[in-house]
Amino acid sequence: MAAGYQSTIDHTIQLTNEWVHQIDELMPWDDSNKSFRLLRAVLQTVRDMLGVEEAAQLSAQLPLFIRGVYFEGWNPSVTPCTLREKPDFVARIAERFAPDILDDPETMISHVLSMLNTRISGGEMRDVRDAMRKSVRDIWPEPRG
C-alpha cells in the first residue's frame, strides 16, 4: 500500500514540476516560485469566473497537487464572480500575485493560458474559454485541435 501512495505523490509532484517549468520557459524571470504563484493566481481566477459545474470539469484534468491549489479557498456559492471583464480578470490575477508585480500582465497571463492549452484537452479548454467574456478571450489563445 505504501508504494502506491508514494507513487501517486511522486507522480503529481513530477507533473506539477513539468507544468511550472513549462511556464518558467515563457517568463522573463528565472524563478520557479514565481511561475508556480502565477499559475495558482491564473487558475484560481479562472475558477472564480466559471460556474460550479464547469469549474469541477476543469479540475478533473489537473494534476492532483495542482487540483488542490485550484480549489484552495474556493467558495462555490459566490461563483461565477460578478466582475468578469478583462480588466477585472487581470487585476484579480495581479492582486493574487502580489507582492510581486507583473511587468506585462496580459502577456504573462496569456503565456500561462497557452501552457494550459497544451496540458488540458482541447475540448475542455474551449468550453472554459468560451465561458469567458470576449474581452478575456482576447488574451486567451485559441486551444489546439
Q: Which residues lie below 8 Å from residue 33, measured CB to CB, with a gap of 6+?
A: none
Q: Collect the ranges in the chain with pLDDT lower than 50.
A: 1
Residue 144 has a pLDDT of 80
* CA 97/CA 100 separation, integer angstroms: 6
At 78, list the grid cell: 459566490
Q: What predicted TM-score, i.e. pTM, was given to this entire model?
A: 0.94
Coil, helix or strand at residue 124: helix
Residue 82 has a pLDDT of 84
Look at the alpha carbons of 44, 107, 85, 95 in this order and tell me if their dihedral is positive or negative.
positive
91 neighbors 31 (Cβ within 8 angstroms): no
The answer to whether the peptide bond before residue 80 is cis (omega within 30 degrees of 0) is yes
Report the CATH fold assignment for 2-137: Globin-like (1.10.490)
38 neighbors 97 (Cβ within 8 angstroms): yes
